[in-house]
Amino acid sequence: MSGDIPKIRLRGLSKSFGPKVVLDGVDLDIRAGHSMVILGGSGSGKSVTLKCILGLITPDAGLIEIDGRDVAAMTRREREAVNDRIGMLFQNGALFDSLPVWENVCFKLLAQRRITRRAARDKAAEVLAQVGLAASVGDLSPAELSGGMQKRVGLARAIAAEPDIIFFDEPTTGLDPIMGAVIDGLIVDCVKRLGATAVSITHDMASARRIGDDAAMIHKGRIVWRGAAATLGDTGNALVDQFARGEREGPIQMELRK
Amino acid sequence: MDRALDLTAGLGRFVLAMLRGAGAVALFAAEAISHLVRPPFYGRLFLKAFVEIAWFSLPVVALTAVFTGMVLALQSYTGFARFNAEGAVANVVVLSITRELGPVLAGLMVAGRIGAAFAAEIGTMRVTDQIDALTTLSTNPMKYLVAPRLLAGTIALPLLVVVANTLGVMGGWIIGTQQLGFASGAYLKATFDFLQAWDVISGLIKAAVFGFIVTLMGCWCGYNSGGGAQGVGRATTAAVVSSSILILASDYLLTAVMFSR
Ligand SMILES: Nc1ncnc2c1ncn2[C@@H]1O[C@H](COP(=O)(O)OP(=O)(O)O)[C@@H](O)[C@H]1O
Ligand SMILES: [Mg+2]
């Protein structure tokens, strides 16, 4: 059954901020239990797409289905129940700097009352170990962590409640290549262990090939290509190939003078 | 002719924008209040906000109150000496403090401290996606961030004003007895003989309203903060300015209503 119904289905998703059209009819299917990578230039609306799926931004038009159900038709409570099963790693971490790391990691479990505060410290240590961090990190404040450690804590927070769907917004941006590869490895492990459906945003080709089964490219508010992540760099699509090789000349013109 | 039309159109737009803003703030407040009666409740966050407002504002509010009481005693003494009415000093001090200056000055001090702090904290959470993160972590940000702060402000400010009243009267008493030559017992008797419960209670009601206004504007401005450090800076300024103005405006309205006999 999960073979037929995509975990997430987007049809005609559109969003403008004032006069600025960001999404202009995005159509995308995300297969259950697979890892989808969304590529696209900076400011092309990748984060906005994820925020629409999460209900953080209301789209102007279009359909969003999760497990075959239209989220716009859900009651507030049903919508919250869906979000309870989704984990998100934000682009800049978005860790709560007023709380220690352990409380960040177990925030969702505590909010859902699936765990006591006393048990949360041990649980946090367990999840931190899964992302390669020592239990002692749990007592630090997020401000005391390096960028790579913050990403790991963000990852730990996203997976702690064992979600069905996980979103990763630029998990490796701003990290050195080795740390980027480490984070990619952790993402692949975690997604596999949870059997989750993953959607990752990136503009790093190496990273895309490492974490993706499927890939799609967004350009000018639409999905212009989709295919297997393994074929990236040699897709035959001029837009994707230019993006993958990072070439200045090609169909994508940087709009510098606008 | 065109000029006049432009002007009226501009004025109309301004008034409409004001009304829209007021409506949005009212809806925001209503939603926050609705979360106060629906579980889960965040007692820990309420306590944290309460301590931040009540305890850490004590020094500023206390100093303000003492000096205000002292100045009131001096000013009213020199003023009333012209009418040979120096005896009214103690009365003037206690009535001005309890009815007006205690709540208003405490409100303005807390607006500077707490309104700014809440706007900066919540604004930073907005621009760093922490508010969105709350939603993805099964937590309603209005319930988590706004409701406990509103409740804490509404309860904490009256308590601060009780302290401010006491210290303000004490400031007047110090000047009255040390500098103006009143006997301590007579000054205190004059203070309490004419004081009515309503003078104090009306001041505490004002304080509760001001506490609500300060925390509401702090949360509102932070919650709707624009992008980046600049956006947070603007939110902080807006919180302090708007809550100060609203305190003075609502002070007028409350006084008009409560003392309209
Ligand atoms: N809340 C918002 N208000 C106004 N504009 C926004 C908002 N969120 C995103 N945008 C704009 O939408 C465009 C796409 O943003 P985003 O999805 O974050 O890009 P990216 O693909 O780099 O993640 C950007 O130009 C951004 O300025
Ligand atoms: Mg982004």
pLDDT digits (tens, 9 = 90+) for B153-210: 999 999 999 999 999 999 999 999 999 999 999 999 999 998 999 999 999 999 999 9
Ligand 1 atom, smallest distance to A57 CA? 1
> How many angstroms is it from A42 CA to the middle of ligand 1?
9
Is residue B105 within 8 Å of B206, Cβ to Cβ? no
Q: Which of A92, A107, A157 sits opposite B129 (nearest CB)?
A: A92
**pLDDT reading at A256 higher than 60:** no
Q: Report the residue among A14, A15, A22, A37 best suited for mutation to probe ligand 1: largest number of ligand atoms under 8 A from its CB.
A: A22
B130 touches chain A (CB under 8 A): yes
User: From ligand 1's centre to the CA of A43, what distance in Å?
Assistant: 6
d(CA A102, CA B151): 28
Place of tokens 């100045």: B71
Across the interface, whether the CB atoms of B136 and A91 are under 8 A apart is answered no
Top residue of B121, B122, B136 to mutate, by most chain A CBs within 10 Å, is B136
- Indicate if ligand 1 lies below 6 Å from the C-beta of A218: no
Query: Per-residue pLDDT tens for A70-93?
Result: 999 999 999 999 999 999 999 989
Which chain B residue's Cα is nearest to A160? Answer: B137
What letter does residue B101 receive in the DSSP assignment? Answer: I
Residue A40 Cα to ligand 2 middle (Å): 10
CA–centroid distance, B224 to ligand 1, in Å, is 16
State how far the Cα of A133 lies from the Cα of A123, in Å rounded to an integer: 13
Please name which ligand lies nearest the alpha carbon of B127: 1
B11-B12-B13 Cα angle (round to 5): 90
Q: Which residues of A touch B125 (CB under 8 A)?
A: 96
Q: Does B250 touch chain A (CB under 8 A)?
A: no
Pick from A91, A107, A113: which is nearest to B137 by CB?
A107
The C-alpha atoms of residue A127 and residue A131 are separated, in whole angstroms, by: 7
Answer yes or no: is pLDDT of B2 > 70: yes
* The pLDDT value given to residue B124: 96
CATH numbers and ranges of domains, chain A:
1-79+206-244 (3.40.50.300)
**Residue A233 above 80 pLDDT?**
no
Q: Name the residue at shortest CA distance from atom 18 of ligand 1.
A: A47
Tell which residue, A37, A159, A194, A188, has the closest CA to residue A88. A159
Helix spans in A9-106 (H): 46-54, 76-84, 101-105
Strand, helix or coil at A229?
helix
Q: Place A60 in a pLDDT band, splitting at 50, 70 and 90.
A: very high
Q: DSSP code of A246?
A: T
Using CA atoms in the order B107, B210, B156, B189, what is the torsion angle rounded to 10 degrees?
Answer: 70
Nearest CA owner, ligand 1 atom 19: A43
Q: How far apart are CA A156 and CA A175, in angstroms?
A: 17
pLDDT tens-place string over residues A183-193:
899 899 889 99
Check residue A31 and give left, alpha or beta (phi > 0: left; psi -120 to 50: alpha).
beta
Q: Which helix (H) or strand (E) holds B246?
A: helix B228-258
pLDDT of residue A219: 92
Interface predicted TM-score of the whole assembly (ipTM), two decimals: 0.91
- Is residue B149's pLDDT more than 70? yes
